[in-house]
Chains A and B, each alone.
Chain A
Amino acid sequence: MRHLLLAVPVLSLAACSGAAEAPLLERPAGAEAPGPVALVAEAAAAYDGVADPALDVALSEPVEDSVYPRVGDPGVDALHYDLDLAWDPDAEVLTGRQTLLLRSTEDDDELQLDLSPELRPDDVRVDGEEVTWRHEGKDLVVVTDVVADERYELSLDYAGTPLPVPAPTTRGDFATNGWTTMPDGSTWTMQEPHGAYTWYAVNDHPSDKALYDISVTVPEPFTGIANGELVDTTEADGLRTTTWHLAEPAASYLMTIATGDYVLSEDESASGVPIQYWVPRERQRLARTLAPTPEALAWLEEILGPYPFDTLGILLVDSESGMETQTMITLGMTDYTTSQAVVVHELAHHWWGDEVGPSDWRDMWMNEGMAMYLQGMWQAEEDGYTVDELMDYWASFEDEERAAAGPPAAYDPATFGESNVYYGPALMWHELRRDIGDELFLELVRAWPAEHSNTTSSYDEITAWFSERVGRDLSGFFDAWLLGETTPPRG
């Protein structure tokens, strides 16, 4: 059943004052300084200190990445990030106050997080005591004695003008990651495989999932949007503060944040999941293209079981790719990225990617192979051809993609997220399906995320699990498809 979109303009009608920007060679006489945008009063802490058992769901076993070892630190197991952010779109200054509850994974005299050099930390404290720290490049090193498995509260203030970082890819639809500021002062972020550290101090690695509470203060008519449920909106003195609660742990690459003059529409899935669409005011008509989202969700729930989170949203930004940011999908505003195929893809990631994802970036195929396969099943049904026909088509260029960017689980680090991690692994799942039959295959596609909720997985873990559940050693099959320089023969 199609749900009516109820346009609920919660924002004021004031026009955005994005004055045209002068080019370098025609400098303005001097820009006037607007009033600062400061943090508003903090909300009460969401958790009752580091010992709160509600934090246990965020316990992880962080590892050092085999592809991008310079980002993330396995010494830290982040449990909860409390971020109070203020964005001044005129001065382009981000001000942050952060409280991180964490577990140390080792005995050490330092804790290390990722934090962009553009953001200057101040007043760094561990369990309320001021500590010394070093900020070396993007590494924030906090000097404090820590004991393995003990939990600590690390707090800091920071401020600066965030800049995105180059993305390790040759894809045509994105070139940088992290906090991105547009000429009108609006902002957005996409940050796979990393880049969260351009806007907060973070263990920026997929093996470390954590809970989040985020408040964003911006001048009206801007609104700040982040992951999870919008639990509070306050407006005072021309500033709007939105507060977002993410109830289940997420990897940092699955976080999103945007500010701008947005309009909210609300919807609901047949299964009762509340859905929010956040669309820039000047592109409001795009909300219509998102209307089939509940149908797409229902189609996936039929295959994968109930949507694994409490809320869902789609946030449109000025990028050209789509990202399965947990419970708040971030989409560029192109025809392709707002297409139903891409929406199905990002929704599918909420099971395969968000509920359970890879612990190391070598295994991005784990997310993309299945999301692509499910997208393919949907496309075949929608467009009236068979999945076999679609797989033949994908196979017609898969070998070229594999040759260009490397085997799906042994790719060239400079070619992150390219077609090789999508199409080859999707073909692989189809081959497994033909081998073990529809019934068992679909049972396992549903069982893998359900049985690994809120965790991460390694290559060995997922391939061993499939071998065990199928009842025979599939390691040769997986290795050939995922590590082979050439495409294995298809059945």
Chain B
Amino acid sequence: MGAPQAYDADEIDDLARRAQDGDRPALEELLGAIRPRALNVCRGVLPHSADAEDACQEALINIAGKIDGWGRRGRFTTWMHAVAVNSARSTYRRLKNQAVPADPQETGGGSLERPDPRTTSVIAGTRLDLLEAMETLEREHPQVVEPLLLRDVYGLPYEEIAQLVGAPLGTIKAQIHTGRKLARPLLRGDDA
């Protein structure tokens, strides 16, 4: 297999400077380059690999959103490390809080929806069948869930999803395609 593209600390600093100046492709490349480091940080906080993956996505989103906070004095990787640690910790706290069982009163006595911690705030109460379909998918094909939600619920462009999820564009397109195919039969009133 071809080697992962190599970046030294200078190159990462350079990408980060360009990203701060609004260079979108540089930001995307930067996030790809630092993903392994961010994931390592998150693994330190959240040993369960699926949780660490979640925290890593969130860390990358935070890094992208707060990139102006890097003062260009020290290494970008040092700053990024701190953001990733904070992000992983907040993911951990949130996952822990959400582990508390839901109050049956609040769910109207119907089936107990166990929210997907990453997506509840957006889709709860709108499409419960979609939420349930995502939960089913999460068990069998976990890799397709997040790209599918980002596309069909959040309406993000494919390239942005690829960047957020930290996976190649082609993979993302294929995952969304697969996810739709798998989710359709699970949706309310759909017999496709």
Contact = CB atoms under 8 A, between A and B. Distances in A.
Given A24-B180, A27-B184, A176-B171, A393 B8 contact: yes
A24 B152 CA distance: 6
B174 A182 contact: yes
A275 to B, nearest CB: 19
B1 A24 contact: no
Interface stretch (A100-108, A216-224, A227-235, A321-329): A321-329
Interface in B125-180: 127, 130, 141-143, 148, 151-153, 166-171, 173-175, 177-178, 180
Given A171-B36, A172-B35, A183 B177 contact: yes
A180 B143 CA distance: 13
A30 interface: yes
Nearest to A163: B178
B1 A332 contact: no
B187 A24 contact: yes
Given A163-B141, A318-B170, A368 B49 contact: no
A147 interface: no
A171 B4 contact: yes
Contact of A345 (B2, B127, B151, B190): B2
Contact of A321 (B1, B153, B184): B1
Interface in A374-423: 375, 393-394, 396-397, 404-405, 414-415, 417-419, 422-423
A192 B130 CA distance: 34
Contacts of B130: 24-25
B183 interface: yes
Given A171-B36, A322-B2, A396-B8, A414 B152 contact: no
B183 A368 contact: no
A170 interface: yes
A342 interface: yes
Contacts of B180: 21, 23-24
Nearest to A173: B168
Interface in B2-38: 2-6, 8-9, 32-33, 35-37
Contacts of A183: 173-174, 177
Nearest to B187: A24
A30 B192 contact: yes
- How many chain B residues sit at the interface, stated as a range, is 35 or more
Contacts of A372: 3
Contacts of B177: 21, 181-183
Contacts of B143: 166, 175-176
Contacts of A323: 1-2
A465 interface: no
Counting chain A CB atoms within 10 Å of each CB, the highest count among B1, B142, B178, B190 belongs to: B1
Contacts of A422: 3-4
Contacts of B190: 27
A144 interface: no
Given A24-B148, A24-B187, A180-B174, A320 B169 contact: yes
Contacts of A318: 170, 173
A24 B190 CA distance: 11
A61 interface: no
B86 interface: no
B174 A181 contact: yes
B152 A25 contact: yes
Contact of A172 (B1, B9, B142, B166): B166
Contacts of A396: 8
Interface string A105-120: 0000000000000000
Contacts of B35: 170, 172
B40 interface: yes
A357 interface: no
A384 to B, nearest CB: 19
A165 B2 CA distance: 20
Contacts of B168: 172-175, 319-321, 332
Counting chain B CB atoms within 10 Å of each CB, the highest count among A25, A190, A317 belongs to: A25
Contacts of A368: 1, 3
A337 interface: yes
A31 interface: yes
Given A164-B174, A404-B37, A414 B49 contact: yes
B72 interface: no
Contact of A170 (B5, B33, B39, B153): B39
A192 B2 CA distance: 11
B36 A423 contact: no
B181 interface: yes
Nearest to B133: A24
Given A173-B168, A320-B169, A404-B37, A342 B2 contact: yes
A346 interface: yes
A196 to B, nearest CB: 15
Interface in A138-189: 161, 163-164, 166, 170-176, 180-183
B152 A321 contact: no
9 contacts: A25-B152, A170-B39, A172-B33, A174-B167, A182-B173, A318-B170, A319-B171, A346-B2, A397-B8
Given A182-B170, A397-B8, 17 more contacts: A164-B174, A166-B142, A170-B35, A170-B39, A170-B40, A172-B166, A180-B171, A181-B174, A182-B177, A190-B1, A320-B170, A321-B1, A323-B1, A332-B170, A418-B36, A419-B3, A419-B4
- Which 8 A-B pairs rank lowest in CB-CB distance, beginning with the nearest? A322-B2, A320-B168, A318-B170, A172-B32, A175-B167, A24-B152, A422-B3, A342-B2
